[in-house]
Chains A and B, each alone.
Chain A
Amino acid sequence: MNDQHNQSRRRFLKLMAFGASGLAVPRFSQAGTASFINKPIPSSHERLPVIGLGSSRTFNVGNDPFGLDNVAEVMRYFFNAGGKLIDSSPMYGSSQTAIGYGLKKLAKTKAVFSADKVWTWEHDEGGPAQMEQSRQYWQVDTLDLMQVHNLVAWQQHLQTLARMKQQGQIRYVGVTTSHGRRHEELEQIMKTEPLDFVQFSYNILDREVEARLLPLAAKRDIAVIVNRPFQRGELIDALKDKPLPDWAKTIDCKSWPQFLLKFVVSHPAVTCAIPATTRVTHLQENMAAGFAPMPDAAMRARMIDYVEKIL
């Protein structure tokens, strides 16, 4: 038992070291400027930029032409900055249609890594019908990642998703939770189901997932998408009038969003974070967090200590 425990501990530490070393070395493009950090999806080794784009609340603009154009503008800057993964859900009102509008307008339907969710209790025909509707809203040929939203009817949906993956209708399968809910159940699913991705909330103050879920994801080769890296904006509101520490410069942090995002994506088991925004200026700030240098373990501890002290 002890041996087993030591083995998995060693494996996790190895992963930590591997992840940290991968992050610590800035990669440079041909132009000589630092390039966006990408991390591999463990099940396929396809690489994803560490900063993605969420759409909950922010992209739900109905059929407002100004709102749709604003979404497209945010997406334009996202892609230009090196972003790839956009996450949505049928639960987010009109967000999917807004994303589809943006992708079409920017001619990025092939470039995007589309991460959507199935969110229905009707799992027989309702699930596939909802996913097909989502695909049409996105205006893409296939959705890359399909996740079971908030573990709703996950047993049945995962069977459907496995079949769809086999048939090439989707490329990856995942499950999601948010706000730290139902972690025990999620842990069981991660232990027993063949998942490519898992999504949950993680930020500098809500670190419960560090204890079990993040190590488990690393052990089971499951990519991790982090939602609510800013606690839905509450963390930024709480920190905006507080001074950023001088030593934040050593990891190229010029703002609190960058500080908070670098903390999240520097965890070796985290594949990417999906902050959401309606503003191009905020998006640019977020995307800047995707560049090296990233904090190492000691710096991460210092970041936690500092934030906990000032809040």
Chain B
Amino acid sequence: MGELASYRLSDFILFSETVYYRQFELYNQAIWPLHTVAILFSLLIGYALWKMPVWAGRVMSGLLVVAWLWVAWEFLYQRFQQIHVVAEYYALGFVLQAGLLVWDGVIKNCLTRCSTSQLRIMTGAMALFVALVLYPFTPFMTGRNGLQFEMFAITPDPTVLATLAILFIYKAPKVLYVIPVIWVIVSGMTLFIIQ
């Protein structure tokens, strides 16, 4: 396995930008109209954060679990795997994160105490707004085909961003940050390499 050291990340990114975004287009066409469920998820999270009912932490965690598992299976494993040989490992990471969210968020109900820092809450809220509302419009802003949109609970990047935003608003266990932060780095480098 020493040979692995001779590889760089760019050696594994063996697809073009066109093919990468085309995956989203084909995926969106294939799963339509499940996007309406994703919108419902976003509304529920918005409502839970706004009203802060007692069930908010557990329900949001549960929604995140479903989102991470769906993205792992349907996007990363079933679709992204076709063009990216390491996507199955990404999928495993997403499943692991779903497991952590089940344990800390649903079973231990850790997402109950909001941060006391106003700055932190505002930053988290803005990131959540970007993930849930603005992110699907990025193709229009960048001149790509509108069908190549990415949505929370449907594709990885907005799902990870929304998760980080929620963790940031709450006093979440640090272990829940690890995989999302790794994903931000991996995804950022991937986008940098293909552009």
Contact = CB atoms under 8 A, between A and B. Distances in A.
A140 B178 CA distance: 45
B85 interface: yes
Interface string B1-25: 1010011000110111011001100
Interface stretch (B48-56, B76-84, B160-168): B76-84
A67 to B, nearest CB: 6
B84 A93 contact: yes
A182 B11 CA distance: 15
A62 B14 CA distance: 12
B15 A93 contact: yes
Contact of B16 (A58, A91, A94): A58
B19 A61 contact: yes
B26 interface: yes
A57 B15 CA distance: 4
Contacts of A66: 22
A151 B83 contact: no
Give the size category of B's interface with A. Answer: 10 to 19
Interface residues of A, number: 25
A146 to B, nearest CB: 18
Interface string A27-71: 000000000000000000000000000001110111110110000
Interface string A138-150: 0000000000001
Contact of B83 (A62, A153, A181): A62
Given A57-B16, A62-B19, A93 B3 contact: no
Interface string B110-123: 00000000000000
Interface in A248-297: 278
A64 B19 contact: yes
Contacts of A91: 12, 14, 85
Contacts of A18: none
Nearest to B6: A181
Nearest to B80: A62
Contacts of B7: 150
Contacts of A278: 16, 18
A152 B4 CA distance: 9
Contact of A62 (B3, B11, B12, B26): B26
A278 B22 CA distance: 15
6 contacts: A56-B14, A57-B16, A92-B14, A93-B83, A152-B3, A278-B18
Interface of A: 56-58, 60-64, 66-67, 90-95, 121, 150-153, 179, 181-182, 278
Closest 7 CB pairs of A and B: A62-B82, A93-B83, A60-B15, A62-B83, A94-B82, A57-B14, A60-B83
Given A60-B19, A151-B3, 8 more contacts: A57-B15, A61-B19, A62-B82, A67-B19, A93-B14, A121-B3, A152-B3, A278-B16
